[in-house]
A = this chain, B = another copy of it.
Amino acid sequence: MSQALRQNRIHQLVKQKGYLTIDELVAHFSVTPQTIRRDLNQMADQGLIERHHGGAGLASSVENTAYQTRKIQHLAEKKRIAEQVARHIPDHSSLFINIGTTNETIAQALLDHRGLKVVTNNLHVAAMLSARPDFTVIIAGGEVRSRDGGIVGEATRDFVHQFKLDYGIIGISGIDEDGTLLDFDYQEVRIAQAIMENSRYVYLAADHSKYGRNAMVRLGNLTQCSAFFTDARPAQALTERLHQHQVDLHVC
């Protein structure tokens, strides 16, 4: 195994576990401690990880928050959903992306696209997509919530209203049995509504954990969307309603 590859794997492992001892890495890769030290030192020089005695951990910029753990939940499902959503977004189109871990996974999947124009109030999405020089990334201004990297508030809503884009990609906290979309956060709902108003197509992405979850604030109804991407078939009644309102259902 080459050095580059091993360092990549180490980086992934560190991001996953938060901390690794040299012994663990020696056992994992079957090389000498000295080799691991060289790797870790090189990576620390690049700021990829933080070097400690006996091992290495995350560079302090990426601390493990509640948000980080939420991000790993249902990751496989989210990735499948994200792949599917990305397939339905053509190159060179314009889109909104709002807050939510599912949306961030979608942003990741969109990295292979070309020339996208993206308006977002999600700091993580902006950071991810702005790495692509051919993308236009526009971020809303305001106070950043540490909880999820979201930017919310009146000003953000006005900001969204400046645009009229092809696609709006929104995430939610819960879906009621009758298709009512629910969220925990009042401000976030206002922004999602603004996005729905100003998008030609509205794509909703939600994994099965959102079914029947009780959140407080009403956002709208599933029937207002153009397409619904999920990983588990919804209840029969809801499926029929979607069909009636010509909402495309994509079960991934």
Contacts and interface: CB of A to CB of B under 8 A. Distances in A.
Interface of A: 1-5, 19, 21, 45-47, 52-55, 57, 60-63, 65, 71-72, 75, 108, 111-112, 123-124, 126-128, 130-133, 135-147, 149, 151, 155, 159
A119 to B, nearest CB: 10
A53 B19 CA distance: 27
A137 B141 contact: no
27 contacts: A2-B21, A2-B54, A2-B55, A3-B53, A5-B19, A5-B52, A45-B72, A47-B72, A60-B108, A61-B108, A61-B127, A63-B132, A63-B133, A123-B126, A123-B130, A126-B144, A127-B149, A131-B146, A132-B146, A133-B146, A136-B143, A137-B143, A138-B144, A139-B139, A141-B141, A141-B142, A141-B155
B147 A133 contact: yes
Residue in A21, A61, A62, A138 whose Cβ sees the most chain B Cβ within 10 Å: A61
Nearest to A147: B133
A139 B159 CA distance: 14
A61 to B, nearest CB: 5
A124 B127 contact: yes
Contacts of A127: 61, 123-124, 127, 149
A75 B43 CA distance: 12
A52 B9 CA distance: 15
Interchain residue pairs A-B with the least CB separation, the first 4: A141-B141, A4-B52, A2-B54, A130-B144
B21 A47 contact: no
A123 B143 contact: no
A135 B144 CA distance: 10
A132 B60 CA distance: 11
Contacts of A147: 133
B138 A143 contact: yes
